[in-house]
Amino acid sequence: MNNFWQQLDKPFFVLAPMEAVTDVVFRHVVANASPPDVYFTEFTNATGWVNAGEKAVAGRLDKTDEKPIVAHLWGSDPDDIEKLAVHCAELGYDSIDINTGCPDKSAIKSGGGAALIKNQPLMAKIITAAKKSGLPVSVKARLGYSQIDEYKDWLAFLLSQDLAALTIHLRTKSEMSKVPAHWELLPEIVTMRDRIAPRTLIVANGDIEDRQHGLEIVKKYKVDGVMIGRGVFHNPFAFENKPRNHSKDELIKLLHLHLDLYEERGDKKRKYETLKRFYKVYIRDFDGASELRHQLMQTKNIDEVRTILAAQGL
Ligand SMILES: Cc1cc2nc3c(=O)[nH]c(=O)nc-3n(C[C@H](O)[C@H](O)[C@H](O)COP(=O)(O)O)c2cc1C
């Protein structure tokens, strides 16, 4: 098995899975701005795909140039997870990741996402099923469901599952994203890893802004890698090696790239409205940014966006 995780230079940097954000288009834009070392897809439901095929996954597993790429799956049926994981291997994905942190009510009701924290026997079956794909398997986990202390048992269990990597979003499901991430637990988690699963890579996640910040976390807590999510909203260049101020022109160029790629895909898998959440990524930190953003938020299609930009010589 080709396990890219073991070949990564440490520390490595990962773009977090973010539903309706880190799609094929945005991953390409981030790669263009300053590439991470590893990409994750948005989360993709195995049972939805088994029952309804491509229609149900709405482009989440479309061909992507950004590599290595991890297919981030969720579900509660091991057979379905196995089928989709095997399909991902056929599509050329490099690894499978299982979501155990999604706090969404419908995911929990169906027994997937964060509900798996309370069902270790099922989680073990899901991991075994994903491994049938022949790809390395990792897990993205929270500390626990409602109590921080759950991490001792929950993460020890996950570490006993022979995973390629374990990403820990350092909050419980109940904490959502409302409290600061509990980085202070990392030394104990790393010690647990050294004792239970020395080959499993530990990836820290939660409130890490950019590569420089990540390097501080790595130095202090000795994790192998860092995953960054919302940081790219505030700075699409979050992964760059040598941070510098980026000009308005550079930001607008990224916006044009995003619009062009969205249009090229031309598949209408995502409505125009879904593009609006990206305008704040590119239209920021320059004179007149908030007025321009306001104007773009009133638009109904890409042509209107281009007309507004052209009128300002952008
Ligand atoms: C818009 C959005 C969508 C997200 N979607 C997912 C997802 O599909 N799967 C997942 O495991 N986490 C998801 N997350 C959580 C992030 O991957 C990450 O764990 C969390 O935002 C904390 O990291 P950060 O502080 O670097 O953003 C999402 C977060 C955001 C803001």
- The tokens describing 56, both together, are 């149900």
Q: Catalytic amino acids?
A: 102
Instruction: Report the nearest atom of ligand 1 relative to the CA of 140.
Output: 11
Q: How far is the CA of 4 from the centre of ligand 1 (A)?
A: 23
Q: HEC string of the chain? A: CCCHHHHCCCCEEEECCCCCCCCHHHHHHHHHHCCCCEEECCCEEHHHHHHHCHHHHCCCCCCCCCCCEEEEEECCCHHHHHHHHHHHHHHCCCEEEEECCCCCHHHHHCCCHHHHHHCHHHHHHHHHHHHCCCCCEEEEEECCCCCHHHHHHHHHHHHCCCCCEEEEECCCCCCCCCCCCCHHHHHHHHHHHHHHCCCCEEEEECCCCCHHHHHHHHHHHCCCEEEECCHHHHCCCCCCCCCCCCCHHHHHHHHHHHHHHHHHHCCCCCCHHHHHHHHHHHCCCCCCHHHHHHHHHCCCCHHHHHHHHHHCCC
Q: How far is the CA of 18 from the centre of ligand 1 (A)?
A: 5
Q: How far is the CA of 15 from the centre of ligand 1 (A)?
A: 10
- The tokens describing 195, both together, are 């004792």
Q: How far is the CA of 188 from the centre of ligand 1 (A)?
A: 23
Question: Nearest C-alpha to atom 14 of ligand 1 is from which residue?
Answer: 18
Instruction: Report the nearest atom of ligand 1 relative to the CA of 181.
Output: 25
pLDDT 10s digit of each residue in the chain, 314 long? 689 999 999 999 999 999 999 999 999 999 999 999 999 999 999 999 999 998 899 889 998 999 999 999 999 999 999 999 999 999 999 999 999 999 999 999 999 999 999 999 999 999 999 999 999 999 999 999 999 999 999 999 999 999 999 999 999 999 999 999 999 999 999 999 999 999 999 999 999 999 999 999 999 999 999 999 999 999 999 999 999 999 999 999 999 999 999 998 865 667 899 999 999 999 998 999 999 999 999 999 999 999 999 999 99
Given ligand 1 and candidates 13, 14, 15, 19, which is best to mutate, with the most ligand atoms within 8 Å of its CB?
Answer: 19
| CA dist., res. 68 & res. 47, Å (int) | 25
Q: In this structure, are strands 95-99 and 225-228 parallel, antiparallel, or unpaired?
A: unpaired
Which CATH superfamily is 4-234 part of? Aldolase class I (3.20.20.70)
Instruction: Report the nearest atom of ligand 1 relative to the CA of 230.
Output: 27
Amino acid at 65: D
- The tokens describing 6, both together, are 């073991």
Question: Nearest C-alpha to atom 21 of ligand 1 is from which residue?
Answer: 229
Given ligand 1 and candidates 57, 169, 203, which is best to mutate, with the most ligand atoms within 8 Å of its CB?
Answer: 169
Q: How do the domains of the chain map onto residue ranges?
A: 4-234, 248-311
> What distances in angstroms separate CA 23 from CA 43, 108, 174, one per listed residue?
10, 23, 27
Amino acid at 240: E
Q: What are phi and psi of 202, to 5 degrees?
A: -105, 125
Report the length, in residues, of the chain: 314
Q: How far is the CA of 56 from the centre of ligand 1 (A)?
A: 21
- The tokens describing 11, both together, are 């520390």
Instruction: Report the nearest atom of ligand 1 relative to the CA of 99.
Output: 11
